[in-house]
Amino acid sequence: MTESLITARAFFERARAGQLTAVRCGSCGELAIPPKELCPACHARAWQPVPLVGEGTIASFTVIRVAPRAHAADAPYAIAVVKLQEGVSILGRIVDIPLDKVAVGLPVRFRPLGAQDQTSIGFGPLG
Protein backbone atom coordinates (compact mmCIF):
# COMPACT_ATOMS: atom_id res chain seq x y z
CA MET A 1 0.00 0.00 0.00
CA THR A 2 1.09 3.52 -0.71
CA GLU A 3 -1.75 5.22 1.05
CA SER A 4 -0.11 8.61 1.32
CA LEU A 5 0.60 8.66 -2.39
CA ILE A 6 -2.57 7.27 -3.85
CA THR A 7 -4.47 10.49 -3.22
CA ALA A 8 -4.42 13.58 -5.39
CA ARG A 9 -3.84 15.58 -2.21
CA ALA A 10 -0.54 13.82 -1.50
CA PHE A 11 0.53 14.25 -5.10
CA PHE A 12 -0.07 18.00 -5.00
CA GLU A 13 1.67 18.36 -1.62
CA ARG A 14 4.82 16.92 -3.20
CA ALA A 15 4.27 18.98 -6.34
CA ARG A 16 4.06 22.17 -4.27
CA ALA A 17 7.53 21.34 -2.93
CA GLY A 18 8.78 21.04 -6.52
CA GLN A 19 8.71 17.26 -6.81
CA LEU A 20 6.72 15.62 -9.59
CA THR A 21 5.88 12.08 -8.46
CA ALA A 22 4.62 8.98 -10.26
CA VAL A 23 3.88 5.49 -8.98
CA ARG A 24 5.46 2.25 -10.19
CA CYS A 25 3.64 -1.09 -10.01
CA GLY A 26 5.45 -3.46 -7.64
CA SER A 27 3.99 -6.36 -9.57
CA CYS A 28 4.60 -5.59 -13.26
CA GLY A 29 6.68 -2.40 -13.29
CA GLU A 30 4.08 -0.17 -15.00
CA LEU A 31 4.62 3.55 -14.35
CA ALA A 32 1.57 5.80 -13.81
CA ILE A 33 0.91 9.49 -13.31
CA PRO A 34 -1.32 10.62 -11.75
CA PRO A 35 -1.78 7.72 -9.31
CA LYS A 36 -4.59 5.23 -9.80
CA GLU A 37 -5.95 2.70 -7.35
CA LEU A 38 -5.23 -0.34 -9.53
CA CYS A 39 -2.41 -0.87 -12.00
CA PRO A 40 -4.00 -0.44 -15.43
CA ALA A 41 -1.65 -3.07 -16.86
CA CYS A 42 -2.00 -5.93 -14.33
CA HIS A 43 -4.69 -4.70 -11.86
CA ALA A 44 -2.38 -5.22 -8.91
CA ARG A 45 -2.57 -2.80 -5.98
CA ALA A 46 1.13 -2.61 -5.15
CA TRP A 47 2.33 0.86 -6.05
CA GLN A 48 5.65 2.37 -5.00
CA PRO A 49 6.22 6.11 -5.26
CA VAL A 50 8.79 7.19 -7.86
CA PRO A 51 10.17 10.72 -8.00
CA LEU A 52 10.38 11.97 -11.58
CA VAL A 53 13.10 14.19 -13.03
CA GLY A 54 10.37 16.61 -14.13
CA GLU A 55 11.74 17.08 -17.64
CA GLY A 56 10.02 16.22 -20.88
CA THR A 57 8.98 17.45 -24.29
CA ILE A 58 5.72 18.92 -25.59
CA ALA A 59 3.66 16.18 -27.30
CA SER A 60 0.79 18.50 -28.24
CA PHE A 61 -0.34 21.98 -27.25
CA THR A 62 -3.00 24.60 -27.72
CA VAL A 63 -3.36 28.27 -26.96
CA ILE A 64 -6.65 28.90 -25.16
CA ARG A 65 -8.10 32.24 -26.27
CA VAL A 66 -11.70 31.77 -25.10
CA ALA A 67 -11.33 30.75 -21.46
CA PRO A 68 -13.70 29.57 -18.74
CA ARG A 69 -14.75 32.40 -16.41
CA ALA A 70 -12.21 31.56 -13.69
CA HIS A 71 -9.31 31.79 -16.17
CA ALA A 72 -10.51 34.67 -18.34
CA ALA A 73 -7.89 37.06 -16.93
CA ASP A 74 -5.06 34.68 -17.93
CA ALA A 75 -6.08 34.31 -21.60
CA PRO A 76 -4.43 33.73 -23.97
CA TYR A 77 -2.47 30.90 -22.35
CA ALA A 78 -0.90 27.65 -23.55
CA ILE A 79 -1.77 24.17 -22.32
CA ALA A 80 0.28 21.15 -23.36
CA VAL A 81 0.44 17.41 -23.02
CA VAL A 82 4.04 16.84 -21.93
CA LYS A 83 5.74 13.52 -22.48
CA LEU A 84 8.06 13.09 -19.53
CA GLN A 85 11.53 11.61 -19.76
CA GLU A 86 10.31 8.46 -17.96
CA GLY A 87 7.70 7.78 -20.67
CA VAL A 88 4.46 8.89 -19.02
CA SER A 89 2.53 12.01 -20.05
CA ILE A 90 0.61 14.69 -18.18
CA LEU A 91 -1.30 17.86 -19.00
CA GLY A 92 0.10 21.17 -17.77
CA ARG A 93 0.03 24.93 -18.23
CA ILE A 94 3.00 26.37 -20.15
CA VAL A 95 4.59 29.35 -18.43
CA ASP A 96 7.46 31.75 -19.22
CA ILE A 97 7.68 30.65 -22.84
CA PRO A 98 6.39 33.13 -25.47
CA LEU A 99 3.23 31.71 -27.08
CA ASP A 100 4.79 31.82 -30.55
CA LYS A 101 7.74 29.73 -29.32
CA VAL A 102 5.60 26.89 -27.96
CA ALA A 103 6.04 23.92 -30.29
CA VAL A 104 5.72 20.15 -30.43
CA GLY A 105 9.04 18.63 -29.35
CA LEU A 106 10.08 21.64 -27.25
CA PRO A 107 11.89 20.54 -24.05
CA VAL A 108 10.24 21.79 -20.84
CA ARG A 109 10.70 21.42 -17.08
CA PHE A 110 8.04 20.94 -14.39
CA ARG A 111 7.22 23.77 -12.04
CA PRO A 112 4.40 24.00 -9.52
CA LEU A 113 1.88 26.75 -10.15
CA GLY A 114 -0.11 28.34 -7.40
CA ALA A 115 -3.47 29.70 -8.35
CA GLN A 116 -6.49 30.26 -6.14
CA ASP A 117 -4.68 28.60 -3.19
CA GLN A 118 -4.42 25.45 -5.25
CA THR A 119 -1.31 23.88 -6.74
CA SER A 120 -1.51 22.91 -10.39
CA ILE A 121 0.95 21.50 -12.89
CA GLY A 122 3.04 23.88 -14.90
CA PHE A 123 5.94 23.54 -17.29
CA GLY A 124 8.50 26.23 -18.06
CA PRO A 125 11.66 26.48 -20.16
CA LEU A 126 14.33 23.86 -19.57
CA GLY A 127 17.24 26.29 -19.34
Partner 1 sequence: MRRVAVIGVGVTKFGLHDRTSAELFADAAGDALTDAGIPASAVQALYYGNVVGGETEHQLHTGPQAASVLGIPSVPTTRFETACASSHAAFRHAVMEIGAGVSDVILVGGAERVLNVSTAESTEYFAYASDAVWEQPLGLTFPGVFALIARAHMEKYGTTEAQMAAVAVKNHRHGALNPKAQFQKQITIDQVLRSAYVADPLKLLDCCPFSDGGAAVVLASEEVARRHRKPVWVLASAAASDWMLLGDKRDLARVPATERAAAAAYRQAGLGPTDVDVVELHDCFTIAEIVASEGLGLFEPGAGGRAAETGLTSLGGEMPVNPSGGLKAKGHPIGATGAAQIAEIVTQLRGEAGPRQVDGARTGLTHTLGGNTATVLVSLFGRD
- Encode 16-26: b = buried (16+ Cβ within 10 Å), e = exposed: eeeebbbbbbe
Q: Which is nearer to partner 1, 2 or 119 (CB)?
A: 119
Residue 50's binding partner, choosing from partner 1, Zn ion, none, with beta-carbon cut-off 5 to 8 A by kind? none
Site for partner 1, residues 1 to 20, rule: CB under 8 A: 8
> What is the identity of the amino acid at 124?
G
Site for partner 1, residues 63 to 102, rule: CB under 8 A: 63-72, 74-75, 77, 79-82, 88-93
Residue 25's binding partner, choosing from Zn ion, partner 1, none, with beta-carbon cut-off 5 to 8 A by kind? Zn ion
Distances (CA, A) of 68 to 37, 44, 84, 96: 30, 38, 27, 21
Rounded to a whole number of angstroms, the minimum distance from the CB of residue 30 to partner 1 is 12
# of chain residues touching partner 1 (CB under 8 A): 36
End-to-end C-alpha distance for the chain, whole angstroms: 37
> Is residue 25 a contact point for partner 1 (CB under 8 A)?
no
- The rounded distance, in Å, linking the Cα atoms of 114 and 120 is 6
Residues 6+ apart with CB under 8 A from 117: none
Binding-site ranges for partner 1 (CB under 8 A)? 8, 33-34, 59-72, 74-75, 77, 79-82, 88-93, 104, 115-116, 118, 120-121
